[in-house]
Chains A and B, each alone.
Chain A
Amino acid sequence: MKDFFHSLKFKIILCLLALVLGFMIYAAISGGNVIFPKSILETAAQPFVAAATAVSDWAERTLDAFMNAEKYREENVMLREKLTEMYSQIIDKNKTDEENERLREMLEIAKENDDYEWSAPCKVIARNTNDIFGGFTIDKGSSDGIALHDPVITEIGLVGYITELSPHYAVVTTVLSPEINIGVITADKNVVGIIENDILYSSDGYCLMSYINKDSDIAEGDIAITSGGTVFPSGIFIGTIDSVYPDANGLTLHAVIKPAENVFNVTNVFVVTDFEGQGTG
């Protein structure tokens, strides 16, 4: 073994180690842009991954439909009732009513709204392995007009934003991630706060809204939308308030939000490539 450490082989292995360290430093300073060697490796495997993901998604959906048919039927009935109840709640409130309309017809609105520019529909081609926050990769990248930190949504609601970008694919960090900060306002009561996730909730699929005024009348069932800023445009549906509890110091409230979109199941998304106020300030 002593000879090995004096051999050319060992020197080559040390060079390899230095190369890997170089990759790490290069990736760390690239600020979200996918570095060239990574792009080569991922692009080489991408067609196989995309095909396998499509097959596994189909198999999962088919199996799921068979195994949970009864559960979904009950859930469907319950959701229909809940939806009816919610419609009746918001019907008297013009602002919320408009918001609801916007959510249901998001795609149509997008075409009419000069403020927003959208990417072509993006397909989820791979999921981050064992990511409890549901991060995934989409099949569009910078060559399709997508930029870092662009918001990602579906026709239902907010999904996340772009955190890693290459010319032909992009990685999405979801609303469940503790890395994300989103300004939030409730649609009817105008209660403001910020989504700053706690892994305790996000690992179960919930977001945590913090810095809520303790005197506010935020309550279960309220609709949470984005309040607008430089990363996320205003008025995108996030989810509904699931529960509210006071902060440990008693000065503010926390609200647990059930996101409207299940980020673990999305297969198609849109990227908002431009909106008024994006990236300013």
Chain B
Amino acid sequence: MKYRIIGKNVKTRHEQKLAAVKWLLYIMCLLAFYIVMRCGIFGFWQPVLLVPLAVAAAMHESELTSCIFAVFCGLYIDISYRFLFGFSAFWLLIVCLAVSLLEHNLIRINLLNFLWTNFAAVVLEFSMAYLFNAVIWDYPNYEIILIKSILPTMISTVVASPLVYFIVRAINIRFGKATELNRYEPAENEDEDSEANID
């Protein structure tokens, strides 16, 4: 039986395929949630599902990959909201790094932990958005933006976030990290895998 070893992890070709499918599904989720945001079908109660998606991915993935994914989620939020390009990506990157570090060192992956980390992410993201896009410009009656747009968005995002968690969880159960059993499954094409790579 032959194996391909990448980095410190042993990865069979089958696992590499699973990982590719998983990231493809993540990207499809990103696109789908972005499209939902741009359609405006929920009016001012439009949930920004890219925030829980980034947080849920951060809980399940490594620090670096979750940060890269968070940047893409943040950039699409910026495009959708017409924020300064990179604004949401900046905050989401910091939040997702923190979430990923917490998950790897202090907390376990479960719905409760997801809910409070997601809530923190939503509060940080939208409070910064409110501060930098309304408060500092000092438009007359700018607090109406908070009441009519920011708060409904935050509420709908938090309410809809368990759905995102279960989608990401389902993707990870099916295509996620290999167990010790399947980690050592033989590579599908033994001829191609005859050379083991050890980094």
Interface residues of A (CB under 8 A from B): 1, 4, 9-10, 12-13, 16-17, 20-24, 26-28, 35, 37-38, 41-42, 45, 48-49, 52-53, 56, 59-60, 126-132, 135, 164, 171, 178, 198-200, 203
With A and B bound together, what is the CA distance between A12 and B66 in angstroms?
12
Q: Is the interface of B mostly helix, strand, loop or mixed?
A: helix
Question: Are A20 and B37 interface neighbours, CB within 8 A?
Answer: no
Please count the residue pairs between chain A and chain B whose beta carbons lie under 8 angstroms apart in the complex.
Answer: 133
Write the nearest CB–CB distance from A198 to chain B, whole angstroms: 5
CB of B114 within 8 A of chain A?
no
Interface residues of B (CB under 8 A from A): 31, 34-41, 44, 46, 48, 62-64, 67-68, 71-72, 74-82, 84-87, 89-90, 93-94, 97, 101, 104-105, 137, 139-142, 144-145, 148-150, 152-153
* Among B76, B77, B139, contact of A178 (Cβ-Cβ < 8 Å): B139
Write the nearest CB–CB distance from A178 to chain B, whole angstroms: 5
* Among B39, B62, B79, B148, contact of A132 (Cβ-Cβ < 8 Å): B148
Question: Are A199 and B141 interface neighbours, CB within 8 A?
Answer: yes
A residues near B62, Cβ cutoff 8 Å: 9
Question: Are A1 and B101 interface neighbours, CB within 8 A?
Answer: yes
B residues near A178, Cβ cutoff 8 Å: 137, 139-140
Residue of B nearest to A5 (CB): B101
Question: Are A56 and B97 interface neighbours, CB within 8 A?
Answer: no
Q: Which of B39, B67, B97, B105 has the most CB of A within 10 A?
A: B39
Given contacts A13-B97, A130-B152, A132-B144, contact A20 B40 (CB under 8 A): no
B residues near A16, Cβ cutoff 8 Å: 67-68, 71, 93
Question: Are A198 and B141 interface neighbours, CB within 8 A?
Answer: yes
Question: Are A129 and B40 interface neighbours, CB within 8 A?
Answer: yes
With A and B bound together, what is the CA distance between A110 and B184 in angstroms?
72
Question: Are B38 and A199 interface neighbours, CB within 8 A?
Answer: no
Question: Are B34 and A45 interface neighbours, CB within 8 A?
Answer: yes
Residue of A nearest to B77 (CB): A129
Question: Are B140 and A17 interface neighbours, CB within 8 A?
Answer: no
B residues near A10, Cβ cutoff 8 Å: 63
With A and B bound together, what is the CA distance between A168 and B81 in angstroms?
19
Question: Are B144 and A20 interface neighbours, CB within 8 A?
Answer: no
6 further A-B contacts with Cβ under 8 Å, apart from A127-B39, A199-B141, are A1-B105, A13-B93, A20-B74, A42-B79, A126-B39, A129-B80
Question: Are B41 and A56 interface neighbours, CB within 8 A?
Answer: yes
Question: Are A127 and B38 interface neighbours, CB within 8 A?
Answer: yes
Question: Are A200 and B35 interface neighbours, CB within 8 A?
Answer: no
Question: Are A23 and B86 interface neighbours, CB within 8 A?
Answer: yes
With A and B bound together, what is the CA distance between A203 and B101 in angstroms?
41
Enumerate 25 A-B pairs (CB-CB under 8 Å) in ascending A order. A1-B105, A9-B64, A12-B64, A13-B63, A17-B93, A17-B94, A21-B90, A24-B84, A27-B85, A37-B75, A38-B79, A38-B85, A41-B75, A42-B79, A45-B31, A49-B34, A52-B38, A129-B38, A129-B81, A130-B149, A132-B145, A164-B82, A171-B82, A199-B144, A200-B140
With A and B bound together, what is the CA distance between A200 and B77 in angstroms?
26
Residue of B nearest to A23 (CB): B86
Question: Are A9 and B63 interface neighbours, CB within 8 A?
Answer: yes
With A and B bound together, what is the CA distance between A146 and B1 in angstroms?
63
With A and B bound together, what is the CA distance between A164 and B142 in angstroms?
23
